[in-house]
Structure 1
Amino acid sequence: MKLNLKKYIFTFILLYTLVPINAQVIGIRDTILMGSKFKITLVDNDSISVEKNINKAIDEMIRIEKLISDWIPTSQVSLVNQNAGIKPIKVDQEVFELTERAIYFSEITKGAFDISFAAMDKIWKFDGSMDTMPSKADIEKAIKNIGYQNIILDKSNSTIFLKKPGMKIGFGSTGKGYAAQKARECLTHFGIKAGIIDASGDMTTWGTQPNGKAWKIGITNPFQRYKMADVLGMKNAAVTTSGDYEKFILIDGIRYSHIINPKTGMPSTGLTGVTVIGPNAELCNGFSTSIMVLGKEKGLELINQQKEYAALLITDHGRIIKSKNYRKIKKNLLK
């Protein structure tokens, strides 16, 4: 859902608490960024400092949003989309590298992950306005504009060119994880030794609680909301969840996920949720989205090849499946 940025971008303080513990405070603030709910939790020396540093984190994520949000007409990604089939567009190095990493996911998933899926943005709507299935013809027409092979990168000139008119790219799959990661880097640069950036389920943590204990993160079980699928102890690590149980549409009693298979133009099936754990929120997000599209067998095959990342899968029938290195990586979250 794309929220009105002018209305929400500066609606920062929805929740703000200060809890004195061991001569430190924990500051918590909710905000809306990238059309989603974000929560920033910081451990700092006093209330004034924690407020200023939360502002720094939000400013950094707004900066990223202005670069990559495809619904902001002046963003670099929007300019790339507006010039599809016309000319290459010069972009900042971080936008170029973000695109490079997205194409890497396309290559290792053989197109199950593809940022050019944004060409489907007018076919499926998850804002409550859609009550009928899109036509087969509309889906097939949009699919013709999907294909990471047609995203042309020129590293020497730092340009991105979409070969086919009508193509679009979008970072809904990795953008929030990237924003969370960059906010963490920003805050550690300013000396903040502990906190959590929760970008609507894409979370990165560092340091510990003021009492020295690790942060505790629960993984929701959509089939048993009163019981967690797992509880993670985390210090310097990331966790992201992709799923169809919070953002979906119902048509004729059938639930359709907001995660679209770029090859078919249809919502992903077979898995209700995928949680990925590892060192980097952006990459965790890329893997969780990819696994949702790939399904159980191919998704496990992908994540089992990763040395630093692991996954917990919840099938449509409520079965919980963990990748082979899940326990090992879970222990690494405490380092």
Structure 2
Amino acid sequence: MRRAVVFFLVLSCFLAVGQEKKYVTVKKALNLMGTAFEITVVAPSEEIGYINIDEAASEITRIEKMISSWDPDSETSLINKNAGIRPVKVSRELFGLIERAIKISEITDGAFDISYASVDNIWKFDGTMKNMPSRGAIAQSVSKVGYKKIVLDAEVQSVFLTQKGMKIGFGAIGKGYAADKAKAFLMSKGVPGGLINASGDLTTWGTKATGEKWMIGIANPLSKDKVFSWLPVIESSVATSGNYEKYIVINGKKYSHIIDPRTGYPTSGVQSVTVFAKYAELCDALATAVFVMGKDSGIHMINQIDGVEVVVVDDANKIHRSSGILFNNNQ
């Protein structure tokens, strides 16, 4: 549904000495789920740190095998193959993820929708598109999209896509979910602190080896090297969705590559959305939803959800925020 754009400058410390133990911060960049991951852990030694990171990477690979629509043997592919034919019994884990995704669709009135994978791609963001598609073509492109067409049976734990040609995909929630699961795994292993950056879907726990908080910097839209505010991320997560690099201009109007799954039209008026919440899965999904809903409706929705905050940059580079965000500007 979207391509995450990373505008985080993560403060990290590579060596610290505590009062009782010596800890190091170990970081490794990996290519997982077809995108860039960076896993950072606090450990008693580099050797143990790298073992922890490799184990977390294995957990992320396990998630990918479950949710990938490119893997013909995945549970997700089996659901898609049987669209309009029959329900498919799935694992409790995947059923739960789909169930939560549908709840987010309900909260956002369909601005977030995993059935968006069904869309026919008529918009081109490679510089070749000069004119708007016809209304008929746009309507046809989303004719198979609609979260209400996903039928769940909790008793038998099955998923049924009611229309032939329907597909589900986890592009706007999967990386966040994988980050959450890797974090939970590392915490269960006793890793005292860390940070997982799943190509812009970021989650943390504990502190840096120095005892300091993990901090992220939200970059200026016009200059990614300049931070307009540093914000602490304490036992929490953050995700950003943006259109800085992928958009089209038609008749002088800028359209994002992020498509409204309800209408088939690209979004406009917003440059980036950064969502803060406890879970990266929720941040991931809501960042897309707010982008689709627009500044006013999106912020209003976030203000109704406990424990969730948002920062929106509009197309005039003006910063807007939900009620719980207090900036510490440091240009």
TM-score, normalising length: structure 2: 0.88
Specify the code of the residue in structure 2 equivalent to 1:267: P
Q: Which residues in structure 2 correspond to 1:196-235 (within 5 Å)?
A: 196-235=195-234
1:181 matched to which residue of 2?
A: 180
The answer on 1:47 being equivalent to 2:46 is yes
2:139 matched to which residue of 1?
A: 140
Contact 1:88 1:162 in 2 (8 A): yes
The correspondence for 2:16, drawn from 14, 21, 42, is 21
Contact 1:247 1:258 in 2 (8 A): yes
Instruction: Encode CA deviations 1:245-273: one digit per residue, 9 max, x unaligned.
Output: 14446779865423210111122211110
1:9 matched to which residue of 2?
A: none
Task: Give the whole-Å Cα distance in 1 for the aligned partners of 2:169 and 2:190.
Answer: 33
Tell me how far 1:226 sits from its aligned partner: 3.7
Task: Give the whole-Å Cα distance in 2 for the aligned partners of 1:99 and 1:171.
Answer: 9
Name the count of aligned residue pairs: 314
Contact 1:18 1:47 in 2 (8 A): no
Task: Give the whole-Å Cα distance in 2 for the aligned partners of 1:232 and 1:160.
Answer: 40
The answer on 1:73 being equivalent to 2:68 is no
Task: Give the whole-Å Cα distance in 2 for the aligned partners of 1:30 and 1:262.
Answer: 33
2:298 matched to which residue of 1?
A: 299
Task: Give the whole-Å Cα distance in 1 for the aligned partners of 2:214 and 2:268.
Answer: 32
Instruction: Encode CA deviations 1:221-253: one digit per residue, 9 max, x unaligned.
Output: 212334223211223111111111144467798
2:287 matched to which residue of 1?
A: 288
Task: Give the whole-Å Cα distance in 1 for the aligned partners of 2:93 and 2:127.
Answer: 35
Task: Give the whole-Å Cα distance in 1 for the aligned partners of 2:130 and 2:71.
Answer: 28
1:6 matched to which residue of 2?
A: none
Structure 1 gaps of 5+ residues are 3-16
Specify the code of the residue in structure 1 equivalent to 2:314: T
| Pair 154,290 (structure 1): closer, same or farther in 2 beyond 3 Å | same
2:5 matched to which residue of 1?
A: none
| Pair 29,144 (structure 1): closer, same or farther in 2 beyond 3 Å | same
Which stretch shows the higher mean deviation, 305-314 or 117-126? 117-126
The answer on 1:311 being equivalent to 2:306 is no
Which structure is richer in relative contact order (CA contacts within 8 A, separation 6 or more)? 2
SS of equivalent residue, structure 2 residue 258: coil
Task: Give the whole-Å Cα distance in 2 for the aligned partners of 1:158 and 1:64.
Answer: 18
Percent identity between matched residues is 44
Task: Give the whole-Å Cα distance in 2 for the aligned partners of 1:130 and 1:179.
Answer: 34
Instruction: Encode CA deviations 1:156-212: one digit per residue, 9 max, x unaligned.
Output: 111110000011111111111110000000000111010000011110001111111
Task: Give the whole-Å Cα distance in 2 for the aligned partners of 1:31 and 1:254.
Answer: 37
Which stretch shows the higher mean deviation, 219-228 or 290-299? 219-228
Task: Give the whole-Å Cα distance in 1 for the aligned partners of 2:116 and 2:224.
Answer: 31
1:150 matched to which residue of 2?
A: 149
Contact 1:18 1:28 in 2 (8 A): no
Structure 2 gaps of 5+ residues are 3-11
Specify the code of the residue in structure 2 equivalent to 1:21: A
| Pair 37,300 (structure 1): closer, same or farther in 2 beyond 3 Å | same
SS of equivalent residue, structure 2 residue 273: strand
SS of equivalent residue, structure 1 residue 227: strand
Which stretch shows the higher mean deviation, 53-62 or 19-28? 19-28
| Pair 43,252 (structure 1): closer, same or farther in 2 beyond 3 Å | farther
Instruction: Encode CA deviations 1:3-41: one digit per residue, 9 max, x unaligned.
Output: xxxxxxxxxxxxxx9944222221111112222211101
Specify the code of the residue in structure 1 equivalent to 2:229: D
Task: Give the whole-Å Cα distance in 2 for the aligned partners of 1:130 and 1:96.
Answer: 40
Tell me how far 1:49 sits from its aligned partner: 0.7
Contact 2:120 2:141 in 1 (8 A): no
Contact 1:130 1:249 in 2 (8 A): no
Contact 1:113 1:290 in 2 (8 A): yes
Task: Give the whole-Å Cα distance in 1 for the aligned partners of 2:31 and 2:185.
Answer: 19
Task: Give the whole-Å Cα distance in 2 for the aligned partners of 1:255 and 1:82.
Answer: 36
The answer on 1:265 being equivalent to 2:264 is yes
Specify the code of the residue in structure 2 equivalent to 1:31: L
Instruction: Encode CA deviations 1:286-310: one digit per residue, 9 max, x unaligned.
Output: 2111100000111011001011011
Task: Give the whole-Å Cα distance in 2 for the aligned partners of 1:219 and 1:129.
Answer: 28
Which stretch shows the higher mean deviation, 183-192 or 240-249? 240-249
Task: Give the whole-Å Cα distance in 2 for the aligned partners of 1:258 and 1:32.
Answer: 23
1:111 matched to which residue of 2?
A: 110
Tell me how far 1:78 sits from its aligned partner: 1.3
| Pair 33,121 (structure 1): closer, same or farther in 2 beyond 3 Å | farther
2:323 matched to which residue of 1?
A: 324
Task: Give the whole-Å Cα distance in 1 for the aligned partners of 2:183 and 2:114.
Answer: 24
Question: CA RMSD, aligned part only?
Answer: 2.4
Task: Give the whole-Å Cα distance in 2 for the aligned partners of 1:167 and 1:65.
Answer: 20
